[in-house]
Amino acid sequence: MKLCIISDTHSKHKQLVNLPEADVIIHCGDISSIGKEHEIRNFLKWFSGLNQYQHKIFISGNHDWLFEKNGALARSLVRDYDNIVYLEDTGIEILGLNFYGTPVSKPFCNWAFNRHPDKLIEHWKAIPDNTDVLITHAPPHQILDYVPWQNDNEGSPTLRIEVQERIKPKIHCFGHIHEGYGKIIIGETTFINASNLNRTYDCINEPVIIEI
């Protein structure tokens, strides 16, 4: 199975031209700038129209306010499209592989889906052991999460523990930290920061293509 992974497009998704073909496209959150309804509608219309993918999966990020403030409305917008799957602390099986997605991240300026570290652990513990492709908005600590201007790693330490010691997915993809774009293999897991926008919100990073 071939996956195309993108993230952190912040309403600039139409700048991703000539997206490569794959079986599944995954968006790891921050589909919008500030989570307004018209932004979500715009993204969903575009995402649904990507006919080179049989399966389309996305999660929310800290900018995607509508999914936290009015989840019922946001989900109703998704249901208008029968070829899009939205995951929020939920999973789906596709062609024998288990995908699981969660939007939560560490507190940062009181954005959407921010959770205290104690609450984050509850979300990580809920991820099934048999997850093959883990989709989170936040990165694990010290894995493609370095922010140069802060000289700090902003990923979640407890997420890293769960991923490396218990879940051990084949792929763990995420975004959130634009500066961390890239791919690295640690142990049994390929970690992918798929942020398409850089720190200054220029859409310069290519989608990540990977076989599983």
CA-CA-CA-CA torsion sign (175, 179, 185, 187): negative
Q: Which helix (H) or strand (E) holds 46?
A: helix 37-48
pTM, two decimals, is: 0.97
Q: What is the pLDDT of residues 8-60, one digit of tens each?
A: 999 999 999 989 999 999 999 999 999 999 999 999 999 999 999 999 999 99
Q: What is the pLDDT of residues 132-144, one digit of tens each?
A: 999 999 999 999 9
Q: Which helix (H) or strand (E) holds 172?
A: strand 171-174
Place of tokens 């991703």: 16
**Structural domains of the chain in order of their starting residue, each with its CATH number:** 2-211 (3.60.21.10)
Cβ neighbours of residue 150 under 8 Å, at least 6 residues apart?
Answer: none
Give the Cα separation of 43 and 79 in Å (integer). 14
Q: What is the pLDDT of residues 155-195, one digit of tens each?
A: 999 999 999 999 999 999 999 999 999 999 999 999 999 99
Other Cβ atoms less than 10 A from the Cβ of 104: the count is 26
pLDDT of residue 150: 85
pLDDT, average across residues 89-108: 96
Cβ neighbours of residue 165 under 8 Å, at least 6 residues apart?
Answer: none
Give the Cα separation of 16 and 138 in Å (integer). 22
